[in-house]
Amino acid sequence: MFHGLLALLTRSLRQDARQLRNHVFRLCFVGFIYLSLLFASITAGMYGAPGLQFFKSIALLNEIFITCAGIGFFASAITEEKEEETLGLLIMAGLNPLGILLGKSTSRLIQASMLLIVQFPFMLLAVTLGGVTPHQILAAYVALLAFMALLANVALVFSTICERGGSAAGLTTLLLVLYATTPSFAPALTAELTRVGFPQSTWYGQPLFRLLEWSAESSVYWRIHWRIMETGFNEPIISTQVVTNFVGGLICFCIAWLVFIPSTGKANSGGVSRGLVLKSTSRMRLFSPGRSWAMPLAWKDFQFIAGGYSFAVIKVFAYALLLVATVYVNYTWGGNGLQWGDIGKSYVLLLLAAIGIEACILAARIFHDEVRLQTLSSLLMLPRSIPYLAYTKALGCLLGLLPSIICLCLGTLLLPGVDVSIAMETLIDPFTWGIILGVTIFLHLVALLSLFVKWGALPLAIFVMAPISLCCPVWQLLFLVVGRGAVRDSMGALAATVTVWILMSLVCFVFQMMIAARLQELGSK
Amino acid sequence: MSNAKSSGTAQPVIEVDDVVHSFKGRRALDHVSFQVMPQSLHGFVGPNGAGKTTSLKIICTLLRPQFGVVKVFGHDVVDEQKQVRRKIGFMPDHFSTYRQMTVYEYLDFFAAAYGLSFSQRTRVIDEVLALTDMDGRKNDLISGLSRGMQQRTSLARVLVNDPDLLLLDEPASGLDPRARIELMEILKALRSMGKTIFISSHILSELAELCDSVTIIDRGKVKYSGSMHGLLLTSDEHPAFRLTVSGEADGWTEHLQALAGVLKVEQLEGRPEYRIEFDETRLDTNQLLQGIIGLNIPISAFAEDKRHLNEAFMDLTERGVR
């Protein structure tokens, strides 16, 4: 009985032990810890508690690592089998759903946990640097392990339900955002419920308030940064966050087990979905892709990667709802009536975040879908150059961003309280361009990585960029130069902006050359 | 679909000259040379790992040869990629389809990618759909089509730019017998329209029936390139015929051997059949047949002695794991 149950798990663990790249990755991780330790030791004189600084940076790195693993590594556990159309073969081989879930997801959880466990002895060195106790370190690692267990199993549920890895990753991200923001809005919601006189002592009031209290304490980000990192931390290691996260993980695993047969028993479309794009024979043919444009690649990517007309309309409605929600939140919790300036800024920031997320998803799919569907060779056979193919594809994706950009412009221009002149100044600020540079590099990196990995280019890019952004002195140096230029005078600002432009062009050029070379290589494979 | 333009001179459509290509130190193509003539159906046969797909990818400009020259319609595949791509249609061994599209959207997309105008696209798509018998399924999602239908869709896509040369990599692999036969019928129709078809396949019986010429490649080396007829003849020196007699077959060997011009007669083991090799300088086929009739042999069949393509393939290629 156990042979079938554990067959996949044993195989995955053996494979992990045999693959050199996994060990190299762990070694790099330890190497990074060593570098951070060295950095903390060198800068010991500058900070009060170098051990705590070192511990904070590693904890942050681990949070990023687990978050990325959740979105990429764990969310693809079952969907990758669906996309490869091999899930049926596993079932045919006599593996039961529990065996598949254990083999595909639990093995990944063990692999990722190994990365945390391997760090632990090194982290104890932080104690000798000063500012942190072994109790704090142990508490942080237990909290991280609990978080990882929760995230892995949440991702497993979505991986079981969804047809595509991208959808599973998207839903996991959505839930992760909710998880991360709960500590912020749960107390506010509690306060609001108390204010409006919601009965606390009733049979339904008590569990609701208890649930809100738990939600506020269940976030690992809150637990580590607001509790464990505090001087004199002396709480028990097994906290509400650890219990709720582990229990949540277990519940999610059970849900995945329960929904496995109903979700995977459906006709397999090989991970290919048309999404919201309607067929021209449907009643609402207005939202169908229609005939191809004169720029067919732009048409294809707008319709089938960016979601097409129907998704554009949905986005416009969603952003209108977001505006209503922003106004409502400001009115309810703002205190001093409607503050249009604050509403405008919040709305613009939210839209910028939405555009950023959308652009990242599109960058991850723009070339990867061609590789996945094995259509790259057919595209490269067209009498067009690779840059033409790539740029027209990018144009299609940009068209998909158009509703968001229009809403952003309208939000900036039309909302009372948002100063247009400030918006214009922001546009020519070298800092703005510095941020655009960062985003551009990131998007290129995502697109490039998507040509090398089967799944998880986006989280991998975050994982690559995060340490660079946090630790790479080049980045800080750039902002220092840009900042100095900006504050000195207008010519300085212009010079700084031009420097950023040149740098951006250079970096984009290098990335685009790498992408073109990789496309050619994959097309000829 | 327009008929392929007839070439005034019989210049080869594909010229592969001394091509060498290696992958990570392993030589995939070792001084490969062959030619494909216009309006022919040329088979490209070889065991797995022989270098067929590498050759195809070089011909269709997806891969640059490391050494040697490849020309398609006189255009170099390295220096004149665009000209080559306009004249060819390549169907890889996988379907290479956007499965989330309908058949019509897929063909319309590729037609537009080849620069066809709106009205041209409408006409061409209708034509290729009719040719591949897919007009009834044009609004179906590709992901919902059977393997054979997906293969036809892929073939229809190859035809939208009306290429003069079709490069097909294992087009019949994984198809059921009906789908395979129907595909072969479409290929015959395309040949009759004057297209040159270069087809790589493992299904030798169908190639033997279909192809005018063939290239056999093994371990990166060309073992044979020429007419199918020439390949299937059993003897390089003298023509041979196979005579089947009705009834008892014993005792005819000496009589046949006695005919003037006959070089060798052998009775095929256990069968009422004789293989007769003759000197074509002293005797033609007519005279040979008349001689046999004169012997009062009860003839059941008389045909040129050809071996099966399987036999030729096995003779020319080596055993062993590649």
CA separation (Å) from B214 to A235, B194, B227, B243?
A: 80, 18, 6, 27
Question: How far B163 CA lies from chain A's nearest CA (Å)?
Answer: 12
Residue B101: the pLDDT is: 92
- Domain shared by A406 and A451, yes or no: no
pLDDT tens, position by position, A226-264: 888 888 888 888 998 999 999 999 999 999 999 988 887
Which of A:298-337 have CB within 8 Å of B?
299-300, 304
Residue A278: the pLDDT is: 73
Residue that wins the pLDDT comparison between B65 and B238: B65
Question: Range of A465's domain?
Answer: 419-525
Cβ pair B97:A373 closer than 8 A: yes
Residue that wins the pLDDT comparison between A11 and B217: B217
Q: Is residue A274 part of a domain?
A: no
- Domain shared by A397 and A480, yes or no: no
pLDDT tens, position by position, A302-329: 999 998 898 899 999 999 898 888 888 7
Cβ pair A383:B85 closer than 8 A: yes
pLDDT tens, position by position, A418-451: 666 776 777 777 777 778 888 899 999 999 999 9
Q: Please determine, for the modelled complex, whether the ipTM score is greater than 0.85.
A: no
Residue A487: the pLDDT is: 57
Q: Is residue A488 part of a domain?
A: yes
Residue A450: the pLDDT is: 92
Q: Which of B57, B113, B139 sits opposite A382 (nearest CB)?
A: B113
How many Å apart are CA A288 and CA A280, to the nearest integer? 5
Q: Is the per-residue pLDDT at A10 higher than 70?
A: yes
Listed range (A368-372, A484-488, B95-99, B167-171) with the worst mean pLDDT: A484-488
Domain boundary at A375, A399, A415, which?
Answer: A415
For residue B321, what pLDDT band results from cuts at 50, 70 and 90?
very low
- Domain shared by A175 and A324, yes or no: no
Helix ranges (DSSP H) in A196-239? 205-217, 220-223
Q: Is the per-residue pLDDT at A44 higher than 80?
A: no
Residue that wins the pLDDT comparison between B310 and B274: B274
How many Å apart are CA A383 and CA B110, to the nearest integer? 11
Listed range (A521-525, B100-104, B124-128) with the worst mean pLDDT: A521-525
Share of chain B above pLDDT 70, in %: 93
- Domain shared by A214 and A349, yes or no: no
Cβ pair B111:A523 closer than 8 A: no
Radius of gyration of chain B from its Cα atoms, rounded to whole angstroms: 24
Residue A486: the pLDDT is: 56
Domain boundary at A388, A415, A442, which?
Answer: A415
User: B175-181: long-range contacts at Cβ-Cβ below 8 A with a sequence spacing of 24 or more?
Assistant: B175/B147, B175/B148, B175/B151, B176/B147, B176/B148, B178/B148, B179/B146, B179/B147, B179/B148, B179/B151, B180/B206
Residue A183: the pLDDT is: 79
How many Å apart are CA B150 and CA B101, to the nearest integer? 12
Listed range (A107-111, A474-478, B253-257) with the worst mean pLDDT: A474-478
Domain boundary at A391, A415, A439, which?
Answer: A415
pLDDT tens, position by position, A408-421: 888 777 666 666 67
Q: Which residues of B touch A275 (CB under 8 A)?
A: 100
Per DSSP, chain B holds a count of helices (H) and strands (E) of 11, 14
pLDDT tens, position by position, B217-228: 988 999 889 888
Residue B6: the pLDDT is: 44
Three-point CA angle B199, B203, B209, nearest 5°: 75
For residue A118, what pLDDT band results from cuts at 50, 70 and 90?
confident
Question: How far B146 CA lies from chain A's nearest CA (Å)?
Answer: 12
Phi and psi angles of residue A478, each rounded to the nearest 5 degrees, phi first: -60, -45
Q: Which residues of A touch B24 (CB under 8 A)?
A: none
**pLDDT, average across residues B81-85:** 90
Phi and psi angles of residue A425, each rounded to the nearest 5 degrees, phi first: -60, -40
Residue A484: the pLDDT is: 60
- Domain shared by A352 and A425, yes or no: no
- Domain shared by A423 and A411, yes or no: no
Q: For tokens 């948002």, what's the residue?
A: A418
Residue A267: the pLDDT is: 52
The bridge status of strand B273-278 relative to strand B262-267 is antiparallel
Q: Is residue A458 part of a domain?
A: yes
Residue that wins the pLDDT comparison between A5 and A510: A510
Beta-bridge mates of residue B299: B245
Residue A414: the pLDDT is: 65
Q: Is the per-residue pLDDT at B256 higher than 70?
A: yes
Assess A383–B contact: CB distance below 8 Å, yes or no.
Answer: yes
- Domain shared by A404 and A424, yes or no: no
Q: Which residues of B touch A380 (CB under 8 A)?
A: 62
For residue A519, what pLDDT band results from cuts at 50, 70 and 90?
very high
The pLDDT mean for chain A works out to 82
pLDDT tens, position by position, B166-181: 999 888 877 788 888 8
Q: Which of B98, B105, B108 sits opposite A375 (nearest CB)?
A: B98
- Domain shared by A393 and A427, yes or no: no
Question: How far B8 CA lies from chain A's nearest CA (Å)?
Answer: 26
What type of residue is A14? R
Cβ pair B100:A274 closer than 8 A: yes
Q: Is the per-residue pLDDT at A115 higher than 60?
A: yes
**pLDDT, average across residues B111-139:** 92
Cβ pair A277:B100 closer than 8 A: yes
Residue that wins the pLDDT comparison between B287 and B102: B102
For residue B5, what pLDDT band results from cuts at 50, 70 and 90?
very low
Question: How far B105 CA lies from chain A's nearest CA (Å)?
Answer: 7
- Domain shared by A406 and A434, yes or no: no
Question: How far A369 CA lies from chain B's nearest CA (Å)?
Answer: 9
Q: Is residue A273 part of a domain?
A: no
Q: Is residue A1 part of a domain?
A: no
Q: Is the per-residue pLDDT at A402 higher than 60?
A: yes
Q: Which residues of A touch B143 (CB under 8 A)?
A: 269-270, 272
Residue B8: the pLDDT is: 46
Interface test with A, best of B56, B90, B116, B143 (most A CBs within 10 A): B143
**pLDDT, average across residues A399-406:** 91
Phi and psi angles of residue A518, each rounded to the nearest 5 degrees, phi first: -70, -40
Residue A416: the pLDDT is: 64
Q: Which of A279, A294, A297 sits opposite B102 (nearest CB)?
A: A279
How many Å apart are CA A123 and CA B306, to the nearest integer? 79
Q: Which of B62, B94, B112 sits opposite A296 (nearest CB)?
A: B112
Give the distance from CA A152 to its chain's centroid.
Answer: 14
Q: Is the per-residue pLDDT at A405 higher than 80?
A: yes
Assess A274–B contact: CB distance below 8 Å, yes or no.
Answer: yes
Interface test with B, best of A292, A295, A520 (most B CBs within 10 A): A292
Listed range (A35-49, A65-79, B290-304) with the worst mean pLDDT: A35-49
Q: Token pair for residue B43?
A: 């088979």
Residue A282: the pLDDT is: 66
For residue A221, what pLDDT band results from cuts at 50, 70 and 90?
confident
How many Å apart are CA A35 and CA A27, to the nearest integer? 12
**pLDDT, average across residues B18-45:** 92
Domain count, chain A: 3
| Percent of residues in chain B assigned helix, strand, coil, to nearest 5 | 35, 30, 40
Answer for the pair A289, A277: CB distance below 8 angstroms, yes or no. Answer: yes
Q: Is the per-residue pLDDT at B59 higher than 90?
A: yes
Residue B7: the pLDDT is: 43
Q: Is residue A271 part of a domain?
A: no
How many Å apart are CA A461 and CA A68, to the nearest integer? 9
- Domain shared by A328 and A476, yes or no: no
Q: Which residues of A touch B88 (CB under 8 A)?
A: 381
CA separation (Å) from A481 to A431, A487, A488?
A: 10, 10, 11
- Domain shared by A20 and A147, yes or no: yes
For residue A100, what pLDDT band results from cuts at 50, 70 and 90?
confident
Q: Is the per-residue pLDDT at A3 higher than 70?
A: no
Q: Is A154 exposed, middle or buried (0-12, 13-18, 19+ CB in 10 A)?
A: buried
**pLDDT, average across residues A509-525:** 92
Q: Is the per-residue pLDDT at A470 higher than 80?
A: no
Residue that wins the pLDDT comparison between A270 and A507: A507
How many Å apart are CA B147 and CA B152, to the nearest integer? 9
- Domain shared by A26 and A46, yes or no: yes
Q: Is residue A2 part of a domain?
A: no
Q: Is residue A218 part of a domain?
A: yes
